[in-house]
Amino acid sequence: MSHNVDVEKCLEVASNLVSEAGRLIARNNEQRQDFVCKSNDIDLVTQTDKDVEQLLMDGIRRHFPEHKFIGEEESSGAEGVKKLTDEPTWIIDPVDGTMNFVHAFPHSCISVGLKVNKVTELGLVYNPILEQRFTARRGHGAFYNGRRIHVSGQKELGKALVTSEFGTTRDEAKMKVVHENFEKMAKKAHGLRVLGSAALNMSMVALGAADANYEFGIHAWDVCAGDLIVREAGGVVIDPAGGEFDIMSRRVLAAATPELAQEISKVLTQFNPLPRDD
Amino acid sequence: MVDEKLPPSKEPAERPPDQTTPGNAATRFGLEDHEATQQDARVNTLRQAEERRGSMVPPDKRAMSMKMSQARLHTINDPNRTGTHSAEATTPPAKPAVNISSRSSLVRGVAPDLPPKPQRPSDSEADLESSDVDRPSAKRKSEKALADVSTSSSEESEKRVPPAAASAPPPAQAEPQWKSIDFAASEAEPIAPPAPRPEDVPLPPPMMSSLPTDGSPDDVQSINSKLTNTDITFHPSKVFASKATNTSGMLYSDEENEPEEEEFPKLPDQFSASDLDTLFLLACREVKKAGAIALAENKKNQEYTTKKHTNDIVTPTDNIVEESFIKAISSRYPNHQFIAEERISKSETGMVTLTDDPTWIIDPIDGTMNFVHHFPYYCISVAYLVNQETQFGIIYNPPMKNMYTAQLGKGAQMNGEMIRTTGQTNLSAAMVLQEYSSGSNEARNQVATENSQRLVKKTHAMRSIGSSAMCLAMVASGVADAFYNFGLHVWDMAAGALIVTEAGGVVMDPAGEELDIMSRRCLAASTDYLALELGNCLQQNYPSPRDDEPRSVNPNEYGPAPETRDFTSQTDFPDSDTPETTDTEIGGEKSATPAN
């Protein structure tokens, strides 16, 4: 069954809610948050994280009662991650870069994506601390604070600024691969930056301030919005092994050009996070 | 060479017929600009061109006056805006003071959007500030040219928004349009001045009588706009749309204006260097100006030269910023010494000599790699030492508009607000900053990698942002807990070290001993305990030569010979210029808010 959605209205509703949520985050950022651990990872959850997700979901339900949700906090509950269907589905990370938020490091953001018939129609990434707002609608381009943006066009790894992350799990096998890839990127790339938010890393690629971003161990809510924003800015998003991007695989490689993406793909040591998000 | 020729041939084909004339002008200007950034001699030519442009500003104001007069008769939007600018530029000093107070309250009120009108008064403030400077007329004109560039850029940003919002054209089509606008706007400046001169004579009386009337409506409109913004705040659906049209230009203007009011009172023409408070204010002002130069230059594509290896780069802007700052200080204090990154780099020995004389230690652009990529973490770092003791330090990040400062014994501030380190004592709960591939020195890169692998297990989080001075500033302001680096230089850490200690933190040698700023090693942390704990985890590296040793001590420090790369020839950057402008304007304004 095909679903029809008024994407323009969805964007308007999401923008309003994200602004409201941003004000909440900015206020709480002034005070350090006590944090608790979950799932024995050093992934953090704060009251803000929960409050923001609830605010977003309640707001969207008021306008679109039949829509579905896949969110970071919801997915950490008893049910785990939900299956993605053809239903209009909002994929939300209420605070991406929670570690940064806890430390008041100014790179946390709200990430909101909307998929209809499994296709991403809408992406929104907002860093309330620095007032950076990235938006994209499928086929309509990518925007930064209302202005059209485009990737850098870089094709050579040796001239590329690459962003990546250590990730939150401390699993030995994964950390070995992370370090191996960091070492290779440090030698081959022009520069390597670690800012602490997957969604903002991808947004920097869309903006042209970074040329590529790769990471293993992310989740669908970390990259759903960023994926569309990068592509609408003229960049590419693929699987780190060089194939087609699979949002549930927990792997991502975004780059300014296909040439750069393939070059990085050849350099990376691969890692397959388990379980998949689906 | 071929690359340089291709763009002109493509642009005419893509441009609509009715833009032919502006396109031709744009092409000529574009080529000239491109050439100017490639060679030192051309950079001087560019600077002279800017000075020439600056000299045309006064006649331009008369042109605006005429347009204002016409606007009152015809009520056309664009001429009206220009006319308003002219009126504000000529307003008596008393009124700007009122406007300043009003805008300050707006900023502190945390209204998300600001009215368009106050943008004009900020231009007049820039002019007033320029007039305070005691320097040759050439420099004054140069500064006005910079102010003009900012205004022009802001206006261009506003013009660009409607087409994108209305039709969302494909990127390929958007690019030539933007280029055309840029060049046309710049080209228009030299043409405007001559035309209105004869007509100025009959106009003065009506203009004079109209000034009070214009002032009053502006104030009323400003109040109404403020109320409107307040109203918008309660209608989130409009916030985004409003920001698209108002945010970038307005926030930029207000942010630029407020620090000037608070931090830069009028300075005496002559004062002794022993008057440290006034000297500090002078330095802050010059750093802010240098930041404006860097920001303006960053909107262009940058060729860079690798000084020692492919990751240690210098752009023309490094040299421009460094020499303009040194000139500003040495013209007042000819006996002062300078330790500046680019001068040292060009010298025969590459050796730093620090004496008891008053000495400025300058890094014109720290994080040059970020700068050429338009990554918003680059900064200007300036420290002032007497008898080899740091008296004050300044770190300014132009894209974020964050200025970190410290005077010895007086604490540390960011944009005028006191800052403190986190007080964190536990490494496992700490966010630690470090850098990768700080050079082509293999042993050092290996040490950085091994330290990273070890620390990621012992710390809460590791981050890498690409500027040592910015890392120190972040430890000082409490958004990170610790930082360490091997291979940095004295100019990377001189200012930041004082800012960290004045913020209550610790700066030492990574092996746990007292900091030696010539050793090219640095560890900073929020507390003693954290610093020692971090130092104990590190595998050590001892860079050679030290900053106070000549290069000949270790000829193998850097492997391959320096090479020149044309960064623009293979990278399509024009599209990223505009977003970066927005980024610098927006990010700067809001990043100041947490400090309040």
User: B371 is written with which tokens?
Assistant: 């700068």
Per-domain residue ranges of chain B: 276-418, 427-557
pLDDT of residue A16: 92
pLDDT of residue A188: 86
Q: CB of B492 within 8 Å of any CB in chain A?
A: no
Strands B521-525 and B482-486: antiparallel
Element (H, E) at A230: helix A220-232
Q: Which residue of A has its CA nearest to B579?
A: A149
B341 is annotated as contributing to ligand binding: yes
Question: Quick one: DSSP state of residue A257?
Answer: S
pLDDT of residue B585: 30
pLDDT of residue B466: 93
Cα torsion angle, B305, B306, B307, B312, sign = positive
Cα torsion angle, B159, B165, B169, B172, sign = positive
* Active-site residue, B365 included: yes
Question: Quick one: DSSP state of residue B553?
Answer: G
pLDDT of residue B239: 32
Q: With contact defined as beta carbons under 8 Å apart, do B85 and B568 qualify?
A: no
CB < 8 Å to B165, chain A = 146
Q: Are A207 and B579 inside 8 Å of each other by CB?
A: yes
Cis bond upstream, residue B545 (ω within 30): yes
- Which architecture does CATH list for A157-267? 3-Layer(aba) Sandwich (3.40)
pLDDT of residue A168: 72
Per-domain residue ranges of chain A: 7-148, 157-267
Closest CA to B572 of A61, A94, A173, A211: A211
Interface test with A, best of B238, B569, B586 (most A CBs within 10 A): B586
| CATH level 3 topology of B276-418 | Fructose-1,6-Bisphosphatase; Chain A, domain 1 (3.30.540)
User: B277 is written with which tokens?
Assistant: 């408070």
pLDDT of residue B408: 96
Summarize the confidence of residues A110-128 as an average pLDDT: 93
| CATH level 3 topology of B427-557 | D-Maltodextrin-Binding Protein; domain 2 (3.40.190)
Assigned CATH for A7-148: 3.30.540.10
pLDDT of residue A80: 62
CB < 8 Å to B239, chain A = 15-16, 19
Q: Are B479 and A192 inside 8 Å of each other by CB?
A: no
Residue-wise over A60-86: b if at least 16 C-beta within 10 A, else e? beeebeebbbbbbbbbbeeeebbebee
Q: Which residue of B has its CA nearest to A169?
A: B457
pLDDT of residue A276: 82
* Active-site residue, B363 included: yes
Element (H, E) at A43: strand A41-45
Tell me the per-residue pLDDT of A235-272, one tens digit each, with 9 for 90 and over.
Answer: 999 999 999 898 888 889 999 999 999 999 989 988 88
Q: Are B236 and A42 inside 8 Å of each other by CB?
A: no
Calpha distance A222→A226 (Å, rounded): 8
* Active-site residue, B84 included: no
Residue B442 vs residue A157, higher pLDDT:
A157
Distances (CA, A) of A168 to A41, A81, B283, B453, B558: 7, 18, 43, 14, 36
pLDDT of residue B310: 59
Q: Which residue of B has its CA nearest to A29?
A: B594
Calpha distance B444→B433 (Å, rounded): 17
pLDDT of residue A234: 97
Looking at B181, B344, B365, B517, which residue is catalytic?
B365
* Active-site residue, B577 included: no
**Considering CB atoms only, which of A105, A151, A190 is closest to B369?**
A190
Q: Are A186 and B436 inside 8 Å of each other by CB?
A: yes
Calpha distance A89→A67 (Å, rounded): 6
Question: Quick one: DSSP state of residue A54?
Answer: H
Q: Are B437 and A234 inside 8 Å of each other by CB?
A: no
Element (H, E) at B364: strand B359-366
pLDDT tens, position by position, for chain B (596 residues)?
333 333 333 323 332 333 333 333 333 333 333 333 333 343 444 444 444 333 333 333 333 333 333 333 333 333 322 333 333 233 233 323 333 332 233 333 333 332 333 322 333 333 333 333 322 333 323 333 333 333 333 333 333 333 333 333 333 333 232 222 322 233 232 333 333 333 333 333 333 332 333 233 323 333 333 333 333 333 333 233 333 332 333 233 333 333 443 446 667 877 888 889 999 999 998 998 899 999 888 866 555 556 655 566 677 888 889 989 998 999 989 989 899 988 898 887 888 989 999 999 999 999 988 998 888 889 999 999 999 999 999 999 999 889 999 999 999 999 998 898 999 998 999 999 988 765 667 788 878 888 988 898 889 898 999 999 999 999 999 999 999 999 999 999 999 999 999 999 999 999 998 899 899 999 999 999 899 999 989 989 899 889 998 978 887 675 544 444 444 433 333 333 333 333 333 333 233 333 32
Looking at B368, B501, B568, B581, which residue is catalytic?
B368
User: B228 is written with which tokens?
Assistant: 């409107």
Q: CB of B242 within 8 Å of any CB in chain A?
A: no
